[in-house]
Amino acid sequence: MMLDILTAPFMKEMTKTTSNLYRLGWDERNGGNISYLLNEEELAPYLDLNSVRRVVPMNFDASALAGCYFIVTGSGKYFKNVIDAPALNLGIIRIAKDGRAYELLWGFEDGGLATSELPTHLMNHTKRLSVDPTHRVIIHCHATHLIAMTFTHDLDEVEFTRTLWQMCTECLVVFPEGVGIIPWMVPGTDSIGKATAEKMADMRIVLWPHHGIFGAGPTMDDTFGLIETAEKGAEVYTAVCSQGGIKQTITDRQLQDLADAFQVTPRAGVLHV
């Protein structure tokens, strides 16, 4: 007898995270998406993995992830509704053997589909797994202050990273590799997926200027916390600018001391010590 899938830990993580992202204003309407890599051992108590409800073709070659399972948010679905109707707004999929389709095993009960950003997510899962075998989660959201900062701050990655590190002591510790930034691009395209994945080879946060942020990590908490920390740095920057600008800040020497104390290696070229 199968257990109730709504009690599964991964399901609780998804519903809690989507609710928090909506509550914080980072995923308005149907903005944003999440994909969470699962394994058979997690799923088997809750699902018959031989029962495929639908096969959905993809205009993308995901053969590198063939046989992999994901729980994903749906296209056009509102994050605020996930907690009340998970089976309508979430889906559990398996990438087909040829990588050209996904098999729906659960969810999207109204005929819905996985997020339109699925190819971008899959490209980035592939890239992160190639450099971090513990990787499992990608969150795309519209973190307010980070978006605002892309309108007012130089979009040079080194300078943007340095400013965030200066705004909040924990930023350097949480993302010592810094942030990646791509040019503005139309979302949902292979081009934006490839550009983001190129950055994900070296870092876990990629900014889409005037749009949002892509974050990756080994757990839901780690990924959410990564974005949350970067957003706090951007929020402090916004407050500092509104108060008249920077008069003093954490120095590069102090940032290096911080890195040494927490045994992290800052991105090369950011600090001048």
First to last CA, the chain: 62
Q: What is the pLDDT of residue 77?
A: 97
Nearest to 220 by CA among 127, 123, 138, 141: 138
Q: Tell me whether residue 140 is annotated as binding.
A: yes
Instruction: Judge if 90 and 151 occupy the same domain.
Output: no
Q: What is the pLDDT of residue 219?
A: 98
Residue 104 pLDDT more than 90?
A: yes
Query: What is the sign of the dihedral through the CA atoms of 130, 187, 191 and 58?
Result: positive
Instruction: Judge if 15 and 132 occupy the same domain.
Output: no
Tokens of 215: 């974050």
Domain boundary among 116, 135, 166: 116
> What percentage of the chain reaches a pLDDT higher than 90?
98
Q: Tell me whether residue 210 is annotated as binding.
A: no
d(CA 104, CA 122) in angstroms, rounded, equals 16
Nearest to 102 by CA among 52, 138, 44: 52
> What percentage of the chain reaches a pLDDT higher than 70?
100
Residue 272 lies in a domain: no
Q: What is the pLDDT of residue 188?
A: 87
Q: Tell me whether residue 142 is annotated as binding.
A: yes
Task: Give the number of domains in the chain.
Answer: 2
For strands 33-38 and 137-141, give the pairing: antiparallel
Residue 84 lies in a domain: yes
Instruction: Judge if 112 and 171 occupy the same domain.
Output: no
Residue 37 lies in a domain: yes
Residue 148 lies in a domain: yes
Cβ(212)–Cβ(147) under 8 Å? yes
Q: What is the pLDDT of residues 179-224, one digit of tens each?
A: 999 999 999 899 999 999 999 999 999 999 999 999 999 999 999 9
Instruction: Judge if 98 and 151 occupy the same domain.
Output: no
Residue 165 lies in a domain: yes
Q: What is the arithmetic mean of pLDDT over 113-133?
A: 97
Instruction: Judge if 50 and 129 occupy the same domain.
Output: no
Residue 273 lies in a domain: no
Structural domain range at position 10: 1-116
Instruction: Judge if 126 and 108 occupy the same domain.
Output: no
Residue 242 lies in a domain: yes
d(CA 190, CA 178) in angstroms, rounded, equals 24
pLDDT-based confidence at residue 58 (cuts at 50, 70, 90):
very high
Domain boundary among 101, 116, 131: 116
Instruction: Judge if 106 and 123 occupy the same domain.
Output: no
Instruction: Judge if 255 and 238 occupy the same domain.
Output: yes
Instruction: Judge if 140 and 29 occupy the same domain.
Output: no
DSSP letter string, 47-91: --TT---EEEE-SS--GGGTT-EEEEEBTT--HHHHTT-HHHHEE
Residue 183 lies in a domain: yes
CATH number of the domain that 122 lies in? 3.40.225.10
Q: What is the pLDDT of residues 215-270, one digit of tens each?
A: 999 999 999 999 999 999 999 999 999 999 999 999 999 999 999 999 999 999 99
List the catalytic residues: 117
Instruction: Judge if 205 and 244 occupy the same domain.
Output: yes
d(CA 28, CA 15) in angstroms, rounded, equals 15
pLDDT-based confidence at residue 37 (cuts at 50, 70, 90):
very high
Residues 6+ apart with CB under 8 A from 14: 34, 36, 71, 73, 82, 86, 90, 220
**In terms of pTM, does the model score above 0.85?**
yes
Instruction: Judge if 244 and 141 occupy the same domain.
Output: yes
Instruction: Judge if 109 and 130 occupy the same domain.
Output: no
Q: What is the pLDDT of residue 1?
A: 80
d(CA 195, CA 124) in angstroms, rounded, equals 10
